Structure 1
Amino acid sequence: MTGVPTFALSGGFLGVTRRDTDPALAVAGIPFDIATTNRPGARFGPDAIRRASRMLVDGDHPVARRDLAAGLSDMGDFAIALGDVPASLALIERQAAGFRHLVTLGGDHAIALPLLRALAKRQGGPVGLVHFDAHVDTWPDSFGLAYGHGSCFYHAIREGLVDARRMIQIGIRSPVQNDVLDWTLGQGVTIVSAQEVHEQGVAAVAERIRSTVGLAPAYLSFDIDALDPAFAPGTGTPEIGGLATWQAQALLRGLAGVNFAGMDMVEVAPAYDHAEITALAAATLVCEYLALLPPGI
């Protein structure tokens, strides 16, 4: 296929970016990876996810039974301040503020903080959070970097952007200091390890997610390293023992009825990918999120 790469060919078969002035549902890329602590390269994630998404538009979604690209506007990439993390986060927040419902392709996980800042302002208060990851991302800093990709939800909780009692993390399995884990649990966060997903099954975990976030607005943040590196090698901080792609897909399909107000897909680093399997997994999981939304949102 030819043309400018847009997500799910939104804007037409040739993938011409459609810049609606006020889209009901927008997708944007954030080519940002200067807050990583291990392997860089997630700045190339948005383009890789968009290209892989072209595999997913030869028919309607098999569960939602509709064209997921209908009404979706790919707004291109957000601007960042090269080499400046705080300035980049401020820029991201300003650009995200203008969208009613935003699906974001990252980029490292630090972008979740300004996206949540914009969303909390738009919602008039904190939101629930469904967080897929290998890591808790609630460290007070990331190896001395105050706003690193491992600290986004520490700041989100401290700033009152998310209601920690309505926050659930799925797939957690990395080493973590006891004081960080205790602080996270002490805020009211629910943690579901990857091993618990394997042992309890996706239906039980999906129900646990729904009961935790309730009916109020919630945000989905999906770090691709929630998947086992066998299924997603193209990421900066891989951890073995993670979710299989079918588990992640089934979990998302089990979240019908959750009042989602936005999403990010982060930490896709295509330089470490093989045969685009990480990018394809990311694109497919974004489509599963789109399938959860009411038509014409």
Structure 2
Amino acid sequence: MPVPVTFAAPHAYLGARPDDRGAAFCIAGVPLDIGTTNRAGTRDGPRAIRAAARMLTDGRHPDSGVDPTALDLSDLGEFEIALGDIPESLRLIEQQAAGLNHLLAFGGEHGVTLPLLRALTKRLGGPVGLVHIDAHLDTSEDNFGQRFAHGSVFWHAITEGLIAPKRMIQVGIRAPAWPEMYDWTRGQGVTIVPAQEVHESTPAAVAARIREVVGEGPAYLSFDIDGLDPAFAPGTGTPEIGGLATWQAQGILRRLGGIDFRGADVVEVAPAYDVAEITALAAATIGWEYLCLQAARA
């Protein structure tokens, strides 16, 4: 019998079967990037992430021993968007995410999180807690006059009641921002853990803080790849120095098993700026770690 090798792995994420919207866990790419404020190119992120995921198909998790490919898993391919039209793209993304049991989405810019949260909270009938790893607050009311740019996603999510702000925690924040954004965000009840605080702490302590803030009830994970330092993730549109190392992010994620996640996204991978596929591999592995958490709960 032939021995499978990583470079011959199927193009679907982790070799998942295609196009089954009824699967317990679905993968989808969301190739929207017209709301970016610096470098575009995240429309190509999902394909790069799937390609890098070939490294993750030949073994079990080293800590928990689970195999996420054993999940009832389907890769739906790319969601449709409306060329050049952000509001219509958001409507289409929400429509395609509606009714899915559990979605792990690969972006695309961070603006795609808004319609994914809209779809999820409609299905659940109420807001969710949020674990948000990022360099940026993303709580601007608008970005340079564009209401639905990628830096305003959580202003909308909070004001629309999609997120329970007191159950929301932002980890890795370090980018320049107006003091009013910090004041508004904290004023809603959101917990902010700056990158420097992560560096001065441990993954175990940060994970404990996350679990304390999110508490009981359904939650969502949104991981912007620029939460990582550019040394570990150069392939992104808005890199910020001083970010998390991949070992820190991985150590935090592996300790979030007690949280009732109902969906997740990994966004802002821009392959044109990547080096030796390290950003795409980081994003693919973050998705893999997330699915391992779900497999451990099954």
Gaps of 5+ in 1: 12-17
Distance in structure 2 (CA, Å) of the matches to 1:295 and 1:119: 22
Give CA-to-partner distance per residue, 1:101-159, whole Å, 9 cap, x none.
Answer: 00000000000000000011111000000000000000000111100000000000000
Q: 1:158 to 1:89 in 2, by over 3 A?
A: same
Distance in structure 2 (CA, Å) of the matches to 1:178 and 1:148: 20
Match of 1:151 in 2: 152
Residue 20 of structure 1, CA deviation: 1.8
Gaps of 5+ in 2: 1-6
Match of 1:14 in 2: none
Match of 1:186 in 2: 187
Give the structure-1-normalised TM-score. 0.96
Deviant stretches of 4+, over 2 Å: 1-4, 294-297
Secondary structure of the 2:22 match is: coil
Distance in structure 2 (CA, Å) of the matches to 1:3 and 1:228: 29
- Asked whether the 8 Å contact 2:21–2:100 carries over to 1, the reply is no
- Asked whether the 8 Å contact 1:24–1:296 carries over to 2, the reply is no
1:34 aligned onto 2:34? yes
Match of 1:268 in 2: 269
Match of 2:282 in 1: 281
1:137-216 paired onto structure 2 within 5 Å: 137-216=138-217
Q: 1:3 to 1:291 in 2, by over 3 A?
A: closer
Q: 1:154 to 1:4 in 2, by over 3 A?
A: same
Q: 1:294 to 1:59 in 2, by over 3 A?
A: closer
1:6 aligned onto 2:12? yes
Percent identity (aligned): 63
Match of 1:238 in 2: 239
Residue 51 of structure 1, CA deviation: 0.3
Distance in structure 2 (CA, Å) of the matches to 1:32 and 1:202: 32
Distance in structure 2 (CA, Å) of the matches to 1:36 and 1:20: 31
Residue 294 of structure 1, CA deviation: 4.0
Give CA-to-partner distance per residue, 1:213-255, whole Å, 9 cap, x none.
Answer: 0010000000000000000000000000000000000000011
Residue 64 of structure 1, CA deviation: 2.6
Aligned residues: 291
Secondary structure of the 1:255 match is: coil
Give the structure-2-normalised TM-score. 0.95
Match of 1:107 in 2: 108
Give CA-to-partner distance per residue, 1:74-115, whole Å, 9 cap, x none.
Answer: 011100001000000000000001201000000000000000
Q: 1:112 to 1:101 in 2, by over 3 A?
A: same
Match of 2:3 in 1: none
Give CA-to-partner distance per residue, 1:171-192, whole Å, 9 cap, x none.
Answer: 0000010111100000000000
Distance in structure 1 (CA, Å) of the matches to 2:111 and 2:224: 11
- Asked whether the 8 Å contact 1:28–1:74 carries over to 2, the reply is yes
Distance in structure 2 (CA, Å) of the matches to 1:252 and 1:85: 31
1:130 aligned onto 2:136? no
Distance in structure 1 (CA, Å) of the matches to 2:195 and 2:187: 20
Q: 1:225 to 1:9 in 2, by over 3 A?
A: same
Distance in structure 2 (CA, Å) of the matches to 1:204 and 1:49: 29
1:50 aligned onto 2:50? yes
CA RMSD of aligned residues (A): 1.2
1:219-234 paired onto structure 2 within 5 Å: 219-234=220-235
- Asked whether the 8 Å contact 2:234–2:273 carries over to 1, the reply is yes
Residue 3 of structure 1, CA deviation: 7.1
Secondary structure of the 1:66 match is: coil
